Structure 1
Amino acid sequence: MSTWLLYAILAAVSAAMVSIFGKVGLQNIDANTATAVRAIIMAIFLIGVVAYEGNLSKMPEIIGEKKTFLFIILSGLAGATSWLFYFLALKVGKVSQVAPIDKFSVVIATILAVIFFGEKLSMLNGIGVALIAIGVVLTAL
């Protein structure tokens, strides 16, 4: 199995657990506050991972690269808004509907990658993305 595939599968399993744990945890609290607490926990965990790897000294390097840092900031803001909306949707909706609709991001990201990066899709890839879009519509109904 390719390394990227293993990591992608682990990411999918982890993301699924975000939905399950989040839905249980959101029952009696504000979704935005829960998202903030989640972000703090994630930051502490990730700083621990970077420290364990011995890469804390590389942080100023990222901050020093203006373009890189700008896009890391924009990515962080996009991620934060995604989390806010995701937890708000989970608070009031069903996991079985919210999670698949959230995965419409796969379709949007693929389209944007074609437009901005010139990535090419094979016929099989295109069919797969179209099926994801159809699946999103079907789960929303």
Structure 2
Amino acid sequence: MPRSWLVFALGSAFFAGLTAIFGKVGVAQINSNLATLIRTVVIFVVTAALVAYRNEWEPLNKLSGRAVLFLCLSGIATGLSWLCYYRALQLGTASEVAPVDKLSLAFVILLAWLFLGEPMTWRVALGGTLVVAGALTLATK
């Protein structure tokens, strides 16, 4: 299936939508930083169980140092993103916070072009611009 990534991308979008709804309810009664910690522990347990179930553990000496470094940097960025996201959900409405959070797409397009050499076609630029316009339209009153 040439576009099998699409199934997982749609799953990611759907579960991200649930994340906003469940997170908004959760941070109504818990400090946003503690809420992020609870979420992180749950993600750790679920992911560890999946890796164990699929027997995907690798010896540490077989892992690429560069890959591990960038995964650690990604983890730091994810943690900071989640801390900001949950605090934003605590202070704003889910329907305002979620669109602004999706501006990450525009950042990905720009950073992938600058640092990964991905092409900036007119379609990519237009799509990114429309995402920014849509997010700003939804997030402003």
**Structure 2 length as normaliser, TM-score?**
0.93
In 1, Cα distance between the equivalents of 2:75 and 2:61?
17
The answer on whether the counterparts of 2:112 and 2:118 sit within 8 Å (CA) in structure 1 is yes
The one-letter code of the counterpart of 1:126 is: A
1:55-85 CA deviation, whole Å, 9 max, x = no partner? 12x15156x4221111111000000000000
TM-align CA RMSD: 1.4
CA contact (8 A) 2:99 2:138 kept: yes
Alpha-carbon deviations, 1:78-113, whole Å to 9, x = none? 000000000000011000010000000000011000
| In 2, Cα distance between equivalents of 1:60 and 1:6 | 31
| Structure 2 residue 92 is the aligned partner of structure 1 residue 105 | no
Between the aligned residues of both structures, percent identity stands at 35
Structure 1 stretches of 4+ moved >2 Å = none
> Equivalent residue for 2:45?
44
Match of 2:128 in 1: 129
Counterparts in 2 of 1:43-62, with a 5 A limit?
43-56=44-57, 58=58, 60-61=60-61
Paired with 2:59 and 2:109, the residues of 1 have a C-alpha distance of 29
Structure 2: 5+ residue stretches without partners? none
Aligned residues: 139
Deviation at 1:125, TM superposition (A): 2.1
Equivalents in 1 of 2:105, 2:94: separation in Å?
18
Alpha-carbon distance between aligned partners in 2 of 1:59 and 1:91, rounded to the nearest angstrom = 40
- In structure 1, the partner of 2:113 is 114
| Greater share of residues in helix | 1
